[in-house]
Amino acid sequence: MAVTNYDLIILGSGPAGEGAAMSAVKLGKRVAVVEEKSVVGGNCTHLGTIPSKALRHSVKEIHTFNNNPMFREIGEPRWFSFPNVLKRAYDVIGQQVASRAHYYSRNRIALYVGRGSFVDENTIEVVEKNGNVERIAARNIMIATGSRPYRPADVDFLHPRIYDSDTILRLNHTPRRIIIYGAGVIGSEYASIFSSLGVLVDLVDTRDRLLSFLDKEISDALSFHMRNQNVIIRHNEEYQKIEGHDDGVTMHLKSGKVLKGSALLWANGRTGNTSGLGLENLGLAANSRGQLEVNEFYQTAVDNIYAAGDVIGWPSLASASYDQGRFAAANISGEKTARSLSSVPAGIYTIPEISSLGKTEEELTAAAIPYEVGKAFFSRLARAQITGETAGMLKILFHRETLEILGIHCFGDQSSEIIHIGQSVMEREGERNSLHYFLNTTFNYPTMAEAYRVAALDGFNRLA
């Protein structure tokens, strides 16, 4: 069998794989990408980030129309089914695939469609859907196969009423009541989506508060708004057994509670896509969640094998995965630079959305760091009053003595956009990372960005 040689082979065409491929080819490397699906983009484009965010946008527009008194002059509130709203998401997926396919062809990256696995540390065998087998080789190989929903053995995911975060996109009806098990980012986002469509939601949280990695005030604000949308949040609960019926699902909790719904969405954890890769041929082993361990250069225990993206675990963000792929490609090309991802903002697309960066109040208190808080409530901003999106706030945490920005937390419309202004200041070094930047900068009026000046003035006044 003839073997084609490359400088770098990448398994997976999601954000990490794409970031690595584009960077490596710009650095003069001959690159091949192996993708199991017939189209590029990975789970991010087809099952995760893109469809769920496109779905959320459509639902948010419907929610705005149905709850804005001004639109009552046009007509009564409208009801939309879940499948109808989902059609827009598939339009966006098609556009994303077309763009990404163009990137690969324009950069002359070889694309192999099929299941790739290791023969040895330099050789990949690709089995195409038609059964054809090819072998390709490279000095370096990167695993960027992403992740999939974690599925416990005692839950029947073949039942037509039981879904995970991948299969929920095939939901062909609008449930009257849905049980969502797992209140992490995915569970919370889908709770917002379904509740905004008028579906009753039981959100089962195995922890004591929503998204406990967030600043507590932001987490509490999300809980309040969810409950206001008729989401029932059940903290510190674990399932005992799940029963599927013709007309719905029953979940028995260890606390003795029994929940009944038209459907169940399982959103409790993810597993790295490492099974079937032939890692045993390398002497590599994934952990219990299918994830690979890497060093600061994204190298695995085998020097020429790299890994990036969801397959290595935290932070499991599309934005971070893309950068991890880029950094790995730079290291493969001889530019040995370790890059910390501590400055990656979290973006959570609930309704309203959340974004945060840096330390929380709880972390600063535990570390005995003298800090102060500045807040800007959206309800008092002219731009928010104009758009009607008045729920939320911007919160700046800064050092009382140096005025260094320590953390920025935002809850409300456009939070994932607003956070980047604060991020650019936090990335500065020394005195340039200071509350003075927001105090002395003129922002357009009226804008949401003006929240930084309002919050800075609020915090500075507290010092006085």
Q: Which residues are known binding-site members for FAD?
A: 35-44
Place of tokens 């920005």: 405
- What DSSP string describes 383-413? HHHHHT---EEEEEEEETTT--EEEEEEEET
Measured CA to CA, the distance from residue 458 to residue 93 in angstroms comes to 42
Q: Are 411 and 419 in contact (CB under 8 A)?
A: no
Strands 31-35 and 110-113: parallel
Neighbours of 324 (CB within 10 A): 29
Pick out the residues of the known binding site.
Answer: 35-44
Neighbours of 142 (CB within 10 A): 33
Burial of 442 from C-beta contacts in 10 A (0-12 / 13-18 / 19+):
exposed
Neighbours of 222 (CB within 10 A): 24
Phi, psi angle pair for 399, to nearest 5°:
-70, 135
For residue 351, give both structure tokens: 């309704």
Q: Are 109 and 136 in contact (CB under 8 A)?
A: no
Map 2-54 to HEC letters.
CEEEEEEEEECCCHHHHHHHHHHHHCCCCEEEEECCCCCCHHHHHCCHHHHHH
For residue 340, give both structure tokens: 């910390």
For residue 321, give both structure tokens: 């995965």
Alpha helices in 107-215 (DSSP H): 185-196
Phi-psi domain of 316 (left: phi exceeds 0; alpha: psi -120 through 50; beta: other): left
Compute the chain's Rg from CA coordinates. Answer: 24
Measured CA to CA, the distance from residue 425 to residue 419 in angstroms comes to 10
Q: Are 298 and 308 in contact (CB under 8 A)?
A: yes
Residue 38: which residues within 8 A CB-CB, separation 6 or more? 113, 129
Q: Are 140 and 306 in contact (CB under 8 A)?
A: yes
Measured CA to CA, the distance from residue 76 to residue 69 in angstroms comes to 10
